[in-house]
């Protein structure tokens, strides 16, 4: 005699198989996402090649702590000969280093010294000679910048400016928005919202379809505490008001499209035609290449901006 329950085994077995398959897909999705998150957040240290002392600059090797987690950050304090209490904290970009010549960071620092404005150059976490091994495109680095700002205040500087490139610009805006000691900032090649960048860059760098991007972002948050969805420099630019912000970008930037510069400028200054004194777009310049594309104009604009506002 055949049991009445026998015909039901087929659908139940099929359901179990579907549930098992779904579970494997979920585990595989988040397993792959976790691996990619671990790889994409690793830094690639570069060597420091500049020698400020050999270049005739008054240099002091310094070390201070990030406000995030007490990671030790190292850098140079280049103190202007005729000290007037003015200093610019310069912040390099992704996988950069304190003497980054590709963006013109080190030559710009030298030009500021010539204007009797002191400069702090330092390595963000995981870069150069600083501690740490992961980066977060602004989430952790904003507190590295805050640590740098605390350091220059403790050294007696009262007229403080920021100059950041790409990730350093984003980190700088996030930090400056909460620190009234920053009187003026130059933002070069930064992004308006990190999630917009990740939507484009994660698939390209990982080789995975865009459907994996949310999983990678989630795993980076769960494993490393990186809140990528909260890195919104344009919103920080709005909070930076009414302090002056100079936005610089190249219109041939393939990594961070120039539209980001417009979003950041409008967040700070509102709608309307951008003012050339605070919005400098260089024709034909790529990512962080405005200095190289138009060196004389770049130095004059940046130097004049800080001279005017650090008083």
Statement to judge: residues 119 and 13 lie in one domain: no
Q: Are 183 and 224 contained in the same domain?
A: no
163 and 267 fall within a common domain: yes
Both 21 and 97 in one domain: the answer is no
Q: pTM for the full model?
A: 0.90
Domain-located, residue 300: yes
Instruction: Give yes or no: residues 242 and 281 share one domain.
Output: yes
pLDDT tens-digit series, residues 24-78: 778 888 899 999 999 989 998 999 999 999 999 999 999 999 998 889 999 999 9
Torsion region of 166: left, alpha or beta (phi above 0 gives left; psi -120 to 50 gives alpha): left
Alpha helices in the chain (DSSP H): 9-40, 105-114, 141-154, 167-176, 194-206, 213-224, 233-240, 259-269, 290-293, 295-309
133 and 96, same structural domain? Answer: yes
Q: Do 220 and 257 belong to one domain?
A: no
Same domain for 217 and 182 = no
Range of the domain at 28: 8-40+199-229
CA dist 218 → 60, 166, 227 (Å): 41, 23, 9
In our burial notation (b when 16+ CB lie closer than 10 A, e otherwise), range 174-191 reads bbbbeeeebbbbbbbbbb
Residue 272's pLDDT is 87
Burial class (CB within 10 angstroms; exposed 0-12, middle 13-18, buried 19+) of 26: exposed
Q: Is residue 2 part of a domain?
A: no
- Where is the domain boundary, 184, 212, 229? 229
Question: 18 lies in a domain?
Answer: yes
- Parallel, antiparallel, or unpaired: how do β-strands 245-250 and 59-65 relate? unpaired
- Residue 207 is predicted with a pLDDT of 87
Same domain for 18 and 146? no
Whether residues 53 and 35 share a domain: the answer is no
98 and 157 both lie in a single domain = yes
Looking at residue 1, its pLDDT comes to 43
Query: pLDDT at position 2, please?
Result: 45
| Boundary (domain end) residue, out of 209, 229, 249 | 229
- What pLDDT score was predicted for residue 26? 80
Q: Which parts of the chain have pLDDT scores under 70? A: 1-9, 21, 23
Are residues 246 and 299 both part of a single domain? yes
């Amino acid at each position: 005699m055949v049991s009445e329950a026998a015909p039901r085994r087929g659908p139940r077995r099929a359901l179990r198989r579907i549930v098992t398959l779904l579970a494997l897909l979920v585990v595989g999705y988040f397993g792959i996402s976790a691996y990619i998150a671990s790889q994409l957040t690793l830094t690639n240290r570069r060597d420091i090649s500049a020698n400020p002392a050999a270049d005739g600059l008054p240099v002091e090797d310094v070390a201070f702590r990030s406000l995030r987690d007490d990671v030790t950050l190292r850098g140079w304090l280049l103190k202007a000969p005729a000290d007037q209490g003015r200093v610019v904290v310069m912040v390099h970009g992704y996988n950069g280093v304190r003497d980054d010549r590709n963006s013109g960071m080190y030559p710009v620092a030298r030009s500021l010294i010539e204007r009797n404005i002191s400069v702090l150059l330092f390595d963000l976490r995981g870069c150069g000679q600083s501690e740490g091994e992961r980066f977060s495109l602004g989430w952790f680095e904003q507190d590295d910048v805050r640590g740098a700002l605390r350091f220059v205040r403790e050294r007696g500087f009262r007229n403080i400016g920021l100059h950041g490139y790409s990730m350093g610009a984003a980190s700088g805006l996030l930090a400056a928005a909460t620190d009234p000691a920053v009187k003026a900032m130059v933002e070069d090649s930064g992004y308006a919202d990190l999630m917009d960048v990740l939507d484009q860059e994660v698939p390209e760098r990982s080789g995975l379809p865009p459907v994996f991007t949310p999983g990678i972002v989630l795993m980076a948050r769960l494993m490393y505490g990186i809140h990528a969805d909260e890195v919104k420099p344009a919103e920080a630019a709005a909070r930076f008001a009414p302090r002056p912000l100079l936005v610089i970008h190249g219109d041939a930037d393939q990594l961070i499209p120039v539209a980001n510069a417009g979003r950041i400028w409008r967040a700070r200054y509102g709608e309307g035609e951008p003012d050339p004194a605070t919005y400098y777009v260089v024709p034909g310049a790529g990512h962080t290449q405005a200095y190289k594309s138009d060196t004389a104009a770049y130095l004059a604009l940046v130097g004049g901006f800080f001279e005017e506002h650090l008083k």
